[in-house]
Amino acid sequence: MLASALHGVRVVDLSRILAGPWCTQNLADLGADVLKIERPVQGDDTRAWGPPFVTAESGEKVAAYFLSCNRGKRSVTADFAQAADRDWLLRQIRDADVLVENYKVGTLAKYGLDYASLSALNPGLIYLSVTGFGQSGPYASRPGYDYIFQGMGGLMSYTGVEDGEPGAGPLRAGVAVVDLMTGMYATSAVLAALVQRGRTGQGQHLDIALLDVAVAMNANQASNYLVSGESPARSGNTHPNLAPYEVFACADGYMILAIGNDSQFAAFCKLMGQDWHLAPEFATNAGRLTHIRQLRPLLREQLAAWQIAELGQALDAHGISWGNINDLEQVFEHPQVRHRQMLQTVQHPQLGPLKLVRNPMVQPGQVEAITPPPVLGPAALPEAPHYTQQET
């Protein structure tokens, strides 16, 4: 079972906000023992990133944001500027398999918590650094949040309302996609490093940068530019390589029509009672992309007369991909989402029942092994040789 795949793996988590915690939450969901080290009093910044908040019996308020990315961890507060806390932390790291941090380059070296120092203490340690710009280069010392990298990495240059349309301009994604993708790349890197350590016995320093991830996640858009030499423009809800593949208005709301090939377009035309697929300019995907401004009004006129449910049934019957645009209430009421048990309720001893989203890597029957996000933990215990599971 994947929920216990990392059983016995110890992770010391010095990261805050989202990219690092998303990685360590993945590791916790896969069975690792994750010890989250937080600053005394305020803890991780995202504990205060609300409302909304959940209030503990003690009166402590925990933001929903924090709850989204810290499932399955244990919290301890420590100030490693203090010798006693730092010595305690070094004892935890001595026996750890993985350390995750997202401090500015050079910060942890001041406290002897950099990779060079810690690898001497623990040669098998996998040390993951998550930063905005990486460990080297002219921008290495600069801080940055996800929003910055959505812009700098190219995503916002082609995301948003196209020129000439009302509200034209760049838009960010609705969630911190660069942070989340960085967390996923970081998870993969840690897992690969654990496998490699199993062969060599050696740990290593992993350098994961948000800007690198932002560039990499341009995917086909980057490839389009590298092949054509032309930067993609903002195209609203359309697709740069497929047509029709966008949002359309029906009589009772909006839906997404996603035509993936020429045969699907022919089937769609027959459903609409049209012969557009026989016209040379619309017969192929390349032609439809080239002539999308001629095709789009024809599609809009036809689809505006349909009710979404009726149209959806007809599209399903013809093997044509489509989808609703659901708000989150509709998402969690969706029959397939309910069947897949993506909404999980766990009981927290201080916060009461918490609704959380299942990790897609962990199947529904394995979720009972997951523990809820922690309230801000106790102070470090300098006298303890190791902070064990039984001490939570």
Phi-psi domain of 231 (left: phi exceeds 0; alpha: psi -120 through 50; beta: other): beta
Listed in sequence order, the residues at least 6 apart from 252 whose beta carbon sits closer than 8 Å to its beta carbon are 307, 308
| Burial group, residue 368, by CB count within 10 angstroms (0-12, 13-18, 19+) | exposed
Place of tokens 């969901």: 29
**Assessment of whether the complete model's pTM goes beyond 0.75:** yes
| CA 281 remoteness from chain centre | 39
Query: Helix H segments across the chain?
Result: 19-29, 64-67, 83-94, 115-121, 146-152, 177-200, 210-216, 219-228, 262-272, 285-290, 292-303, 308-317, 328-333, 335-339
The amino acid occupying position 259 is: I
Dist. CA 30–CA 9, nearest whole Å: 10
Cα dihedral across residues 330, 331, 336, 339: positive or negative:
negative
Judge contact between 67 and 357, C-beta under 8 A: no
Residue 369 has what pLDDT? 62
Tens of each residue's pLDDT in the chain, 392 residues: 788 899 999 999 999 999 999 999 999 999 999 999 999 999 999 999 999 999 988 888 999 999 999 999 999 999 999 999 999 999 999 999 999 999 999 999 999 999 999 999 999 999 999 999 999 999 999 999 999 999 999 999 999 998 888 888 999 999 999 999 999 999 999 999 999 999 999 999 999 999 999 999 999 999 999 999 999 999 899 999 999 999 999 999 999 999 999 999 999 999 999 999 999 999 999 999 999 999 999 999 999 999 999 999 999 999 999 999 999 999 999 999 999 999 999 989 899 999 999 999 998 876 566 789 999 989 886 554 454 443 33
Residue 165 has what pLDDT? 82
Positions annotated as catalytic residues are 179
